Every structure is written in structure tokens, then in C-alpha cells.
Structure 1
Amino acid sequence: MMRSLYSGVSGMQNHQTRMDVIGNNVANVNTNGFKKGRVDFQDMISQQLSGAAAPTTEVGGVNPKEVGLGVQVAAINTIFTQGNLQTTGVQTDIAIQGNGFFILKNGEESFYTRDGSFGLDKAGTLVEPASGLRVQGWMAREVNGEQIVQTAATPTDLIIPVGSKDPAKATQNVKLACNLNKNTPVIEEGASPADIAKGEWNIEQKIYDNFGNEHLLTVRFTRVPGTPNQWRGEVQVDAENAEYTQTRIGLGTTDGMNNEFIVNFDNHGTLRSVTDAAGNVTNEDGQILLATSFTVPEANVDEDGNPLRQTFNLNLGTIGSQIDTVTQYASQSSTKAISQDGYTMGYLDTFKIDQSGVITGVYSNGTNRTIGKIAMASFTNQGGLEKAGNNTYVESNNSGQANIGESGIAGKGSMLAGALEMSNVDLTSEFTDMITTQRGFQSNAKTIQTSDTMLETVLSLKR
């Protein structure tokens, strides 16, 4: 009889624990990235009144007689199912689709979270605004003119320097991919201005010097008389100031050259070779790169009093190719300089984050530059993480060490900028669990009340 009292007590206590977990789940129904808890019960040790007996030749076996001593909490598990994603439009909000955690740092102490409601502090550091914990990732560094992110390195704080300068860069490469009409007429000597206009084709492209000043590159093509598949190219930088810029072009060098070259096409309309003013001819394969130089206005002169000359490559494409290359087909001539890599000075206006966590800066001069990449962590047993408050977790003895790397690799999910992961609490199931928990609590209370009534009956036997 006393056993039933203590069984009822254990039932009430542990159902209260379950109600505590349900209450916490309901309280966090609107907490970003929250993962609900679940209580699992198991019976306590049983008192054996008599043991089991094996069958004999005379009688069969006998089962043991045992009385259970109540219930206990077997585990309180954190359920890491995916929460719904909610679009916020805030560029620093990031949701994780799939497994993984963001990494936050407080000094040398690491925390892990699914809540991606981040922001920038006054130093431009990407942080969790409520606690100031710093988001971890890899900053990009420049290697041979390109921004490279070394994801094998140890993650560090991510700094997005909004308003910082992007220095001007001189143009180093200009790529052409135009078509020169096979049926363009040859300009005869003494031709009228109208006939000259019909027989030439001009390509224009803005380029930049070391100061970020803008210049106009003009490439003029005309048919070579007496040859079926040759064109003469004439290059000018700032044609209205041609006497000062002194544009020169050649294969490998511009020393002693003028600003003209000859383009040779084969019978398929593709590039065959280029000949510069010194008679140098390109190889039979590969890209055709013409070194082009011009005098930069208002620059310091060297020790010999010579003005600064800037050199860049004029890329006509690949010999024998039909893609992104100068061609000669019986089709309308096209004006197409598909790229140049110079720009003026700019400032970091804004930034964007893609699904792999790459942070790209958008500058006022039209350039995009990789700033860094957000790191992610995964665990062999994420259910073994300990909650540390503020929507964060820390490692435990049973979670395993954090496996830190890029999103989308080794089981890590992808990121979605401008969105947040909602709580995975389902109110329907929580309210249902609340009802069954209440019934369990009441039933265990009735067990105690009934046992008490039986004890009163025993006590009344003396009267």
C-alpha cells in the first residue's frame, strides 16, 4: 500500500517535469531557431515478490511476481527537426536549411546557434546583436589580383567595412568579340565621306588609368584592298587627344610601333593570325594578345623626363574559335567589347550573402568583391549539445567535437539570406501532450488519494 503512495508521487513529480518542458516549448513558439524538447519516461526498478521457476516434468514454469515502484524520466531530448523559414528582407538575417549551426565567439569560448538574426556593430563586425557574440567565418585575401577565401584556415571574426574605399585600378585587359561583315566594301582612294562610313567599323570601350580617370578606346577596322580576308585595325585612346596619348600597339611590345595591325581570317570566317607594324606574326594557335600603350595625361615623368605610359592587352580571341572571338561572317558587323577590368575608385555601399555563405561587397564603382565566408559547424550527436541560453548551445562530453567547414559539405545545410528559421514547436501536438500530461498527473493524484483512503480503513479496524 505504501508502494502505491510513492508510485503516485513519482508519477506526479515526473509528469510535472513533462509539463515544465511543454510549457517551455509553448513559451518559445515564436523564438527564432528554437528546437523543442521532448520528455521520455521509463519505469523504475521493480520489487520482486517471487522469482520465476523453470518447468519440471510434473508442472509447468512459473512467471516472476514483481511490483513496480513508479516512473522516472528516461531522457529530455532536444528535437532538431527543421523549422519553417520566414522571409524578413533584412540582408543580415540568415536561415539554415538542413543540418548545421552558426559559430559564435566570446573571446576564446565557442557557442553554436540556429538563430541567424545577425547585425553589424559600429566596427563593421558581424555579431549576434542581443549578446554581442561574434559570428565566425573566413575573411578573403587578395592573391594575384583575385579575392580568395581559405576555408581550411581557422575561422575568425567577420568584418564588413561598409563605406571603405576600393582603390582605382588601371585597365589591364580588354576583350573583343565582334563580327566584321565579310561583305563590307573596300574604301577606295578618294572615296566620299559616306562611302568611307560604309567601309569602316568602329568599336568603342571605356578604359581607366592608374588614377581612375576614364578614357575612350576606339578600334577602327577597314578592309585591306586586294586581299579577300584581311582587315586593318587602327587603335586610338582618346582620339581627340591623339597627339598626346600616342597610342601604340604590337605583339609582345609596343616599342617603335605605330597604332595599326593586320587581322587575317581563314575561309571559315575565324581568326587565322595577326601581323603587327614590325611584321611580327602570331602563332598558329592560342589567344591573340596585342600589347597596347598610351601616354597618361597629367602624370609624373620618370628620371629621364619621359611621361608615364600605360600598357594593357587587347584580346582579339582564340585562333580558329567562333566563341567570344573576332570573326568575319557575311552578317551585319557587331560592336562588342565584352569586358575590360579597370575601374575608378569606389566605396562599399552594401553587401549580399549567397546560399553558400559567401559575403560579397557591392561598391559604388560597379565592382563586386568577395569579403568573406560564414563558417558552419556540425556534430556527430547534435542531441548531446548543452543549452547555454540566448538561443545558443555548447559542446558536451556526448556531442562530439564541432566539425567546422563550409555549408553544403559533410552534411551541412545551405544558407538563405534575408530569412530566419522559425521555432519547430507544433502547438497542436503540444496542446495534445498538455492534455495527456494533465490526465496523467490527475490519475497519479487519485492513486495517492485512494491509497490514503485504504490506509484510513486499516486504521479504523482498531475501533
Structure 2
Amino acid sequence: MNSSFYNGVSGIKTQQFAMDVQANNIANANTNGYKYSSPEISSLFSTALTGAYASYSNDKGLGAQSQTTALNLGQGILENTDSPFDLAIQGDGWFGIKGQNTAKTYYTRAGSFSLDGQGSLVNADGYYLMATSGNNMTPTTLDDATLAKFGTYYKSTSTTPVTPYAITPMDDVPLGSVGGQTKITLPDILYYPPVATSKVSYGANLDPKVVTDAVVVPLNAADYTATVTPTASGKASLSGTINNTTALQNPKEGDAVTITFTDVNGKTQKISTKLDASLNWSISNADVGTLDTTSDLTASVLVTSTQEVANTEHFTTGIIAPDGTKDIIDMTFTKQVPQGSSGSTWDASIKILSYLEDYVVENYDSTKTYDTSIYNVDTVKGTVTKIYDPTLYYVDTTTKKVYDIVDTQTGVLTFGGAGQLLSNSVPALNNGGTSLELNLGTVGKYDGLISSTTIKKANVVTANGSMEGFLTGYAMDGNGNIVAEFSNGKSSAIAKVAVYHFQNDQGLLQDSATLFEASANSGKPIFYTDKNGESFLGSTIFSNKLEGSNINMATALTELIIVQKAFDASSKSITTSDELLQNAINMKK
């Protein structure tokens, strides 16, 4: 009978243990990252009533005891927040955090992090978030003008010195080893250096339609006699052909021929005639009395004929120079004439232009003395303009800007009858020390420049390179990377948040409501690896979200009722045993 007392006492103790566990669960219903525990109770021990070989159960229980608590690792609800460093893991795994003065790593599902005064990611208790560093931020030196672009001017005499950092862009930070994780510090002054353009692809249509116009062509010297001796009466005769003048494409009867005579004094006189049916020309006893005829005259001959003229296409596109400034690729394509029966050939002249200064037209001031080696002075128009060497500078009078010619390259492009590119001899350009590949299309295809009168193609350009950028903020991407975002539209990963896994998550030791540490029972933390031995997260990290507690209040309250009833029943067994014992004592009276 005494054993029933102890059974009741053990029942009260174990149900009190269960009550404590359930009450703790309910108390943490709104604790982010909390995982509820289930109390586990076992029999204390039992005794055998008969021999061990009985064919039926013959044990008598001697109470219960608190055995352990089982951690429920079910996924909590993901709740939206406004902070990019509110993180939530979907799937198994744990964030790793470390205190400031301890080497021990703790593990948690509570992902509310923020930046401390040093720019490190910490939780509310000041524990650092563990991550793999990209090691792509290095201290740099920036001038005052560049620092001012960050929005705040920092002086070198500031009581709180600011160290600017420059970033080397990365798309993704590979997750390192478990032992290679460290705290992450995010600087305020992070600079994205300019990246010079090294590749440009351009697509457009070079219209090969045949265009005709009146063209003045000088005759080859082999087609006439260049020196003429006038007669005593001041007459001159001259005849010739066009047989050696290949620049004349389709000469015909009636094309105008202009002969210019020049005397020893430099005075000139023009006389006109026409090509005859045999495409010959001549003048006989033409009056040149206005000239000095005491000496021989020098003749030059021009033919005016209607023929095909060269088409010209001009394109420009922006590029980035090594110093981050915006430069221009200036492309001029001139069709060779006459055009063949099938396809076309174009001469290319490609320049890289860098803005130098505005083109200024000054009013002429008669009181000033102008250096004519520097300025072009037009007293008739009353203007003064600076002289620029055309081999070094390009003057755009339309936009009134002057450019340095950084590099000039020429080449020839040929196209087939269907407009496809057949060949391209334009070499790489020099973009201020960076080799720049200009891709004008694939030979045999239509992906770049074409030359067709029937195919319509819009101008399309792609180019790499980027201007300098200034940090605008930090964020997280879908791969667990902490990402720096910049004013030039670029972004770069700088670290990857680690997700730790264990062979037995149930074996973790609980230090607080959401803080755990590894034990011999849980095993050491591990990272998942692929077949190549590369580590990966194994779960998804969401930013701007927090994982809520996984407690089900309906279940917890139901369990609480069951525990309460079991506690009442255990206490009742004690009072009942007391009554039985009292009756036994009264039997003696």
C-alpha cells in the first residue's frame, strides 16, 4: 500500500514537469524562431510478482519519472518584415552566431539581425552572424570630390576617420568550410570602381541602294597633253580621251568637259566642251587671249558625269573609359563604288572620342592680336575659332563639342547579295589602354551589321563596362548572399550567410528559448556538399521575413488540460491511499 503513495507522488512530480514544459511553450508562442518541446515521461521501475518464466505479464509498476523533452523542429510560419536583414530559413538548418569574447558558436532559427556601430551584422543580444566572406572589399584611397559624391563630406582631420573600401564585383560567394565562417562587417563607404568597356556589339543595316548624282571627275594625265603652246594669235587647241580615267563609271555622249588653262602668272581661264559619240573630246583654236600666251599654258581637265556616288552611314554609341568617363565610339561606313552586281563593300573608319571641351566661336575683336597658328580669324564673317589638328581632335560643329581622338582604326566589310556579312577586317581598338573588341557580326549571318535594301533592322548595341558607383544600400539575394547595391545600377555579392546542419538536431543543447549549442549527441556542425565536394546551403534563406514560433496553441492548450487532469488524478491516488491505510489502522481498534 505504501507504493501507491510513491506512485502518486511520482505522478505529481512528472505532471508538474509536463506542466512546466507546456507553460514554457505557451509563453513563447510569439517568440521568433522558437521550437516547442514535448515532455516525455517513462516508468520508474517495476517488480515481478511471479517467476520470470510466466506466460503472462506479471509486473507491478512503481511510479513514473521525467525522462526528457523532445524538440519539435517543424517549420514555423514566415512573417513579412521591412528589414532586409530579417532572415528566415525554409527547411532544416540553423544560423550560426558568436559572442564578442567567445570562440563558441551558437545556433538559432531566430533571424532578426541588424548592423551595430561597427557595421557588423548582430542579433538583439550582440551576437555576430556567421558567414563566408567574399574577401572582395579592400581599403582604398578616394579624393575629396569622389568622397563628396557619397552624400557626406569626410575630412582627413575628422575625429572619426573613415576608411573607404573598393569592391571587386562577384555574382556569388562560394560557401566555405564550417571552420572558415566569420563575422561580416559592411562598410558605409563602399566604392564600385569604373570598368572600362572591352566588348561592344553593334547591329544595323548599311543601306546599299544605288544613289546617282552629278560627279566631277578629274581626267587622268595620260588622257590629254598637260602642256599647250598657244598660237601667235592667242588661240589654243587640245583634245583627249577618257580611256585611262577609271573613276568615270558610265561616261556618255554629252557629258560636260571643262578645260582650265593656267598661264605662268597663275591666271586661269576655263573653256567647256562635251564628250562626243566616241567618248572623245576636243577644242580647236579656242580664244585664250585673257592669258599670257607668250609662254606655254598648263591644262587640267574635268568631266562632269551622272554616276553612282558613295553611300555613307554614321553611327555612334557610348562606352566607358578606364577612368570612368563616358566616351564615344564613332563609326563611319562608306560604300565603295561602283557597287558590284551582287553584294556590297564598305570602308569603315572607327574612332574612339573623348570629350575635351566645347567648341567656341568668338566674335572678332579688332583691338586684339590673334596668334594665327592657334586661331582661325575670319574678318569678313567677324569670327574667331580655335584651330584643332584633325589627326588629334574631332570637332563636332553640330553639337559644338571638341573631342580627343583616343584611337582610330580602319577596315573593310563585305556583304553578300542577301545582305549577310561575308568579311570584316576592322581590328581591335585601344580604349585608353584597354583592348576593345568591336563585334560587327558573325560571318555568314545577320546578327550584326547587314547590307540590304529589303531587310529592316533596328540599330542594336550591347556593351560591357560600367561607370563608377557609390553604395546605396545592402540587401540579400535568393542564394543567401549579402549584396551591396550601387548608384550605377550594379550590385555585388560580398558574403554568404551560412546554414549549419547536424546529424541529430534533437541532440542540441538548449541554452535559451532560441539559442542552442552542439553536443556529443547532436554531432559536430556540417555543411552539405555536392558530388564535387563544394559546399551548399541545403535550404532557402529568405530576407525581409522572420520565422515565427511553431507552437500550435490549440494543441498546447489541449495538452495543458490533459496534464492538469493527470495531476489531479495523481493527487487523488495519494488521498485514496491515505484513506485505505487509515481503514487498515482502524481495524486494530
TM-score tier after normalising by the smaller chain length: 0.7 to 0.9
Give the conservation status (yes or no) of the 8 Å contact 1:173–1:315. yes
Q: Which residue of 2 aligns with 1:335?
A: 459
Give 2:569's match in structure 1, choosing from 438, 443, 457: 443
Q: 1:42 Cα deviation (Å)?
A: 2.0
What is the distance in 1 between the residues matched to 2:90 and 2:56?
A: 53
Q: 1:327 Cα deviation (Å)?
A: 4.3
What is the distance in 2 between the residues matched to 1:445 and 1:431?
A: 21
Give the conservation status (yes or no) of the 8 Å contact 2:354–2:406. no
What is the distance in 2 between the residues matched to 1:14 and 1:27?
A: 20
Alignment TM-score, normalising by the size of structure 1: 0.80
Q: Classify the secondary structure of the residue corresponding to 1:233.
A: strand
Q: Among all aligned residue pairs of Structure 1 and Structure 2, give the percentage whose two residues are the same amino acid.
A: 27
Asked if residue 11 in structure 1 is aligned to residue 37 in structure 2, the reply is: no
Q: Classify the secondary structure of the residue corresponding to 1:376.
A: coil
Aligned amino acid, residue 131 of structure 2: G
Give 2:112's match in structure 1, choosing from 112, 117, 136: 117
Give the conservation status (yes or no) of the 8 Å contact 1:52–1:64. no
What is the distance in 1 between the residues matched to 2:417 and 2:503?
A: 64
Give the conservation status (yes or no) of the 8 Å contact 1:203–1:218. yes
Q: Which residue of 2 aligns with 1:230?
A: 345
Q: Which residue of 2 aligns with 1:418?
A: 544
Asked if residue 127 in structure 1 is aligned to residue 125 in structure 2, the reply is: no
User: Cα deviation per residue 1:138-190 (whole Å; 9 max; x = unaligned)?
Assistant: 222459975363433512222222332222333232232x2326x54255566
Q: 1:340 Cα deviation (Å)?
A: 2.5
Aligned residue runs from structure 1 range 45-444, under 5 A = 45-53=45-53, 62-106=55-99, 107-128=102-123, 130-141=124-135, 147=170, 149-153=173-177, 154-176=180-202, 178-180=203-205, 184-186=208-210, 200-225=312-337, 226-227=339-340, 228-238=343-353, 241-242=393-394, 245-249=404-408, 259-266=409-416, 269-276=419-426, 290-293=427-430, 311-320=435-444, 325-328=448-451, 330-343=454-467, 345-389=468-512, 391-404=514-527, 412-444=538-570
**1:112–1:188: structure 2 CA closer, same or farther, 3 Å change rule?**
farther
Q: 1:442 Cα deviation (Å)?
A: 0.5
**1:150–1:292: structure 2 CA closer, same or farther, 3 Å change rule?**
same
Aligned amino acid, residue 448 of structure 1: I
Q: Which residue of 2 aligns with 1:303?
A: none
Q: 1:51 Cα deviation (Å)?
A: 2.0
How many residues get paired? 411
**1:386–1:5: structure 2 CA closer, same or farther, 3 Å change rule?**
same
What is the distance in 2 between the residues matched to 1:380 and 1:43?
A: 29
Q: 1:406 Cα deviation (Å)?
A: 8.0
Give the conservation status (yes or no) of the 8 Å contact 1:172–1:342. no
Q: Which moved more, 1:231-240 or 1:434-443?
A: 231-240
Q: Which residue of 1 aligns with 2:296?
A: none
Q: Classify the secondary structure of the residue corresponding to 1:371.
A: strand
Aligned amino acid, residue 413 of structure 2: V
Give the conservation status (yes or no) of the 8 Å contact 1:231–1:264. yes
What is the distance in 2 between the residues matched to 1:317 and 1:376?
A: 46
**1:42–1:373: structure 2 CA closer, same or farther, 3 Å change rule?**
same
Aligned amino acid, residue 394 of structure 2: A
What is the distance in 2 between the residues matched to 1:53 and 1:370?
A: 71
Q: Which moved more, 1:409-418 or 1:206-215?
A: 409-418
Structure number with the higher helix fraction is 1
Q: Classify the secondary structure of the residue corresponding to 2:29.
A: coil
**1:168–1:348: structure 2 CA closer, same or farther, 3 Å change rule?**
same
Aligned amino acid, residue 173 of structure 1: K
User: Cα deviation per residue 1:81-140 (whole Å; 9 max; x = unaligned)?
Assistant: 111111113111111110111111224211111111111122222221x12111111222
**1:333–1:63: structure 2 CA closer, same or farther, 3 Å change rule?**
closer
What is the distance in 1 between the residues matched to 2:214 and 2:490?
A: 46
Q: 1:418 Cα deviation (Å)?
A: 0.9
Q: 1:14 Cα deviation (Å)?
A: 0.6
Aligned amino acid, residue 331 of structure 1: I
Structural RMSD (CA)? 3.1
Q: 1:48 Cα deviation (Å)?
A: 1.7
Q: 1:9 Cα deviation (Å)?
A: 0.8
Give the conservation status (yes or no) of the 8 Å contact 2:174–2:496. no
Q: Classify the secondary structure of the residue corresponding to 1:434.
A: helix
Tell me which structure has the larger Cα radius of gyration: 2
Q: Classify the secondary structure of the residue corresponding to 1:448.
A: helix
What is the distance in 2 between the residues matched to 1:373 and 1:268?
A: 52
**1:339–1:310: structure 2 CA closer, same or farther, 3 Å change rule?**
closer
User: Cα deviation per residue 1:47-102 (whole Å; 9 max; x = unaligned)?
Assistant: 22222446xxxxxxx53532101112333111101111111131111111101111
Give the conservation status (yes or no) of the 8 Å contact 1:36–1:79. yes
Aligned amino acid, residue 274 of structure 1: N
Q: Classify the secondary structure of the residue corresponding to 2:17.
A: helix
Q: Classify the secondary structure of the residue corresponding to 2:462.
A: strand
Q: 1:454 Cα deviation (Å)?
A: 1.0
Give the conservation status (yes or no) of the 8 Å contact 1:356–1:406. no
Unpaired runs of 5+ residues, structure 1, are 55-61, 250-258, 277-289, 297-308
Q: Which moved more, 1:148-157 or 1:73-82?
A: 148-157
Q: Classify the secondary structure of the residue corresponding to 2:59.
A: strand
Give the conservation status (yes or no) of the 8 Å contact 1:208–1:215. yes
**1:272–1:108: structure 2 CA closer, same or farther, 3 Å change rule?**
farther
Give the conservation status (yes or no) of the 8 Å contact 1:93–1:117. yes
User: Cα deviation per residue 1:280-322 (whole Å; 9 max; x = unaligned)?
Assistant: xxxxxxxxxx42236x6xxxxxxxxxxxx66422233444455
Q: Which moved more, 1:148-157 or 1:415-424?
A: 148-157
Q: 1:13 Cα deviation (Å)?
A: 0.6
What is the distance in 2 between the residues matched to 1:201 and 1:351?
A: 45
Q: 1:200 Cα deviation (Å)?
A: 4.7
Give the conservation status (yes or no) of the 8 Å contact 1:186–1:223. no
Give the conservation status (yes or no) of the 8 Å contact 2:174–2:535. no
Unpaired runs of 5+ residues, structure 2, are 138-166, 216-307, 356-392, 396-402
**1:167–1:315: structure 2 CA closer, same or farther, 3 Å change rule?**
same
Alignment TM-score, normalising by the size of structure 2: 0.64
Aligned amino acid, residue 115 of structure 2: L
Aligned amino acid, residue 331 of structure 2: V
Q: Which moved more, 1:24-33 or 1:400-409?
A: 400-409
Q: Classify the secondary structure of the residue corresponding to 1:439.
A: helix
**1:435–1:270: structure 2 CA closer, same or farther, 3 Å change rule?**
farther
**1:334–1:410: structure 2 CA closer, same or farther, 3 Å change rule?**
closer
Q: Which moved more, 1:226-235 or 1:379-388?
A: 226-235
Q: Which residue of 1 aligns with 2:226?
A: none
**1:352–1:239: structure 2 CA closer, same or farther, 3 Å change rule?**
closer
**1:91–1:321: structure 2 CA closer, same or farther, 3 Å change rule?**
farther
